[in-house]
Structure 1
Amino acid sequence: MTAVRVREMTPADCDRVGRIRVGGWRAAYRGLVPQSYLDAMDPARDAAGHRARLARRPGPVLDLVAEQDGDVVGWACHGPYRDGDTHTEDAELYALYVDPGRYGGGIGRALLAESAGRCATAGHPRMLLWVLKENTPARRFYERAGFRPDGAQEPFEADGVAVPEVRYVRRLTA
């Protein structure tokens, strides 16, 4: 296998990113989110949402993809931290997903490092993210990368079921 290359996402990547995101949800959130919610996820609808968002650019949100051996194998998205309807000076990692068949190969680390680096260069003092409270592997991943829970919690609703999320934070340095 070759090294992971991270670059900005293009409309041509949307179908693959849709499959990665839906596959990531189904693999990582099985047993944590109602199965009916996971089963209803549609990679084509997800890809269409990505294409529509990319068409609205420029904006403060940046999508990155990771490539390995010529294939898109991961996706991350970051932008300003959302506190209700307002953006703060902090950055937020909105999403990070890796093709479930490629877990453990450094793809997530490469995407996270690139996102955090770009946010630090842009002058954001911290990066925050939300993760499912019971998603122990993801929480360990973020903790190894220097993120720590800050005590904030809020539920995410999936098919009428409240799924608790916890917020993590990490200081950024330029």
Structure 2
Amino acid sequence: MSGGEPVCVREAAEADLEAVAALRVRGWRYAYRRLMPREYLEGMDAAAYAARRRADFAATRETVTDLVAVDGGGRVTGWAALGPCRGDGSGGGGVCGGVCGDGGDGEGCRDGELYALYVEPERIGSGLGRALLADVVRRAEARRMRRLRLWVVEGNARARRFYEAAGFAPDGVRSLFDAGGTPVAEVRYSRGLRGADLTAG
């Protein structure tokens, strides 16, 4: 981190959900301000997202790991979420593409998915995102996932460079995300995980 500030990454608690939701909305509005309609981004509701996430937080903790980065005062400055590769065919980052070895329905899939990674816009480039991603990869390897996948908006050049520097590469799968009636192209990235047997499954 710049200025020598240590990075503290821990699992999120239910009490963090409001801060995570606010960070998510800020992250979308910053990253996608030239890639999605302004009306769609301005219509995002952090309180509604927090309420939805709170409703299923306890039920999904066995499969979904939410991580937060916090500063010295305990304030949430970054967030990442890891879980199984989704294969529901819904698009918008929810398509497994049938390459998980499970026919694309999500059952028995041994690949992981990075559902989200956001840091405060003013901390981009500080190393905070790299620290979160490193923890995600470590946890995915501990869960013996074969690969880690993620979705990136095609036009988000900064994010694509970030993931490519971390060893991810496009795997040829694309999707369209509906941003309030405007189709936004996404590309899927993937990287193998240490110790995984890519010939299995």
If the TM-score is normalised by the length of the shorter chain, which range does it land in? over 0.9
Separation (CA, whole Å) in 2 of partners of 1:58 and 1:134? 32
Separation (CA, whole Å) in 1 of partners of 2:76 and 2:39? 28
Separation (CA, whole Å) in 1 of partners of 2:36 and 2:137? 28
Separation (CA, whole Å) in 2 of partners of 1:40 and 1:111? 28
How many aligned positions are there?
174
Separation (CA, whole Å) in 2 of partners of 1:9 and 1:157? 29
Matches within 5 A, 1:4-153: 4-70=7-73, 71-84=75-88, 85-87=105-107, 88-153=109-174
Structure 1 residue runs of 4+, over 3 Å off? none
- Greater shift, 35-44 or 81-90, is seen at 81-90
Separation (CA, whole Å) in 2 of partners of 1:113 and 1:23? 22
After TM superposition, give the deviation of residue 68 of structure 1 in Å: 1.9
- Greater shift, 55-64 or 74-83, is seen at 55-64
- What is the match of residue 183 of structure 2? 162
Q: In the alignment, residue 81 of structure 2 is paired with which amino acid?
A: C
Separation (CA, whole Å) in 2 of partners of 1:27 and 1:58? 28
- Greater shift, 4-13 or 76-85, is seen at 76-85
Separation (CA, whole Å) in 2 of partners of 1:58 and 1:40? 28
Structure 2 residues without counterparts, runs of 5 or longer: 89-104, 196-201
For residues 3-51 of structure 1, give each alpha carbon's deviation from its aligned partner in whole angstroms, at most 9, with x where no partner exists. 1111100011111111110000000000101111101001111222222
- Greater shift, 87-96 or 134-143, is seen at 87-96
**Scaled by the length of structure 2, what TM-score is found?**
0.83
After TM superposition, give the deviation of residue 122 of structure 1 in Å: 0.8
Residue 63 of structure 2 aligns to a residue in which SS? coil
Residue 56 of structure 1 aligns to a residue in which SS? helix
For residues 70-91 of structure 1, give each alpha carbon's deviation from its aligned partner in whole angstroms, at most 9, with x where no partner exists. 2210000010101224241100
Structure 1 residues without counterparts, runs of 5 or longer: none
- Greater shift, 94-103 or 41-50, is seen at 41-50
RMSD of equivalent CA atoms: 1.2
Separation (CA, whole Å) in 2 of partners of 1:26 and 1:57? 27
The structure with the largest alpha-carbon Rg is: 2
Separation (CA, whole Å) in 2 of partners of 1:45 and 1:111? 25
Separation (CA, whole Å) in 2 of partners of 1:21 and 1:36? 17
Separation (CA, whole Å) in 1 of partners of 2:146 and 2:168? 13
Bigger share in strand: 1
Percent pairwise identity? 50
**Scaled by the length of structure 1, what TM-score is found?**
0.95
After TM superposition, give the deviation of residue 121 of structure 1 in Å: 1.1
